[in-house]
């Protein structure tokens, strides 16, 4: 008589447990949580180096689907340094086009500092936070410059390497910092003049060679040629 309750218990365990498992309350709760708060997995269409880039927070607000923004430093701290990219020179117009990338910080505005050789820098007008590109005009052909980009927010402005003001040696070539050094090539017009000068010189040289060949050589070299020519005739 003792065996049958045990057997019933075993049967209950083997048959009821597999049926109960899919209805386990733990599993249901997990699935519901995932449906209610979907975590955004797509990054927003934000490029810190793109000109006229709307701030990522605004993209997030406007986006119909949730997206992820890169993390930013605290708005209570001055921005980190932006990264200045390539400086593209347009020699015909004494113009340079400067590109930069936003730092991982909240930025209200940018401006450029331009050191013409040595002395105090020229400061550009403020550019709003969507800017990543600016033009430097009125550059002297053949001149050397250092340009730095500064980002600012409510807490202050990003730093500029200290050595920049004193000389051009501290900032060299393509760097990953906020500054870049560049030299404006001489005006193409003066290159044209130089080419014309070389051309004229070559033409004069050719002319004098021809004159020597046909006139002067006749005078000095003819006796020998005539002397050789006579026996042949």
Ligand X SMILES: *[C@@H]1O[C@H](CO)[C@@H](O)[C@H](O)[C@H]1NC(C)=O
- Interface contacts to ligand X, rule CB under 6 A: 128, 130
Tell me phi and psi for residue 188, to 5 degrees. Answer: -60, -30
Min. distance of Cβ 126 from ligand X in angstroms? Answer: 10
Distances (CA, A) of 16 to 2, 5, 19, 215, 223: 22, 16, 5, 124, 131
CB of 128 or CB of 208, closer to ligand X: 128
Min. distance of Cβ 57 from ligand X in angstroms? Answer: 12
Distances (CA, A) of 100 to 7, 14, 68, 117, 203: 78, 68, 22, 22, 49
Min. distance of Cβ 40 from ligand X in angstroms? Answer: 24
CB of 108 or CB of 187, closer to ligand X: 108
With contact defined as beta carbons under 8 Å apart, do 142 and 190 qualify?
A: no
Min. distance of Cβ 132 from ligand X in angstroms? Answer: 11
CA distance 97 to 135: 5
Q: Which residue in the block uniquely carries the two structure tokens 């050719």?
A: 206
Min. distance of Cβ 107 from ligand X in angstroms? Answer: 11
CB of 133 or CB of 187, closer to ligand X: 133
In this chain, which residue has its C-beta nearest to ligand X?
128
CB of 103 or CB of 181, closer to ligand X: 103
CB of 73 or CB of 130, closer to ligand X: 130
Instruction: Classify 66 as helix, strand or coil.
Output: coil
Min. distance of Cβ 124 from ligand X in angstroms? Answer: 14
Tokens matching residue 123: 């400061």
CB of 110 or CB of 145, closer to ligand X: 110
């Amino acid at each position: 008589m003792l065996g049958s309750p045990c057997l019933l218990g075993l049967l209950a365990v083997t048959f009821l447990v597999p049926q109960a498992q899919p209805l386990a309350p733990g599993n249901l709760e997990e699935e519901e949580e995932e449906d209610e708060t979907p975590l955004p997995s797509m990054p927003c269409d934000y490029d810190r180096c793109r000109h006229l880039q709307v701030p990522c927070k605004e993209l997030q607000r406007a986006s119909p689907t949730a997206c992820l923004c890169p993390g930013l430093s605290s708005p209570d701290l001055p921005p980190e340094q932006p990264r200045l990219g390539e400086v593209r020179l347009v020699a015909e117009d004494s113009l340079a086009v400067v590109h930069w990338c936003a730092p991982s910080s909240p930025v209200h505005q940018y401006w450029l500092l331009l050191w013409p050789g040595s002395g105090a820098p020229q400061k550009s007008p403020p550019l709003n936070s969507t800017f990543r590109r600016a033009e430097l005009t009125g550059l002297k052909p053949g001149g050397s410059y250092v340009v730095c980009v500064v980002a600012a927010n409510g807490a202050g402005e990003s730093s500029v390497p200290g050595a920049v003001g004193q000389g051009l040696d501290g900032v060299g070539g393509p760097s990953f910092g906020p500054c870049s050094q560049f030299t404006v090539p001489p005006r193409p017009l003066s290159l044209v003049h130089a080419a014309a000068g070389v051309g004229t010189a070559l033409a004069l040289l050719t002319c004098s060679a021809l004159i020597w060949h046909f006139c002067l050589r006749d005078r000095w070299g003819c006796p020998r040629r005539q002397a050789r020519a006579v026996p042949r005739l």
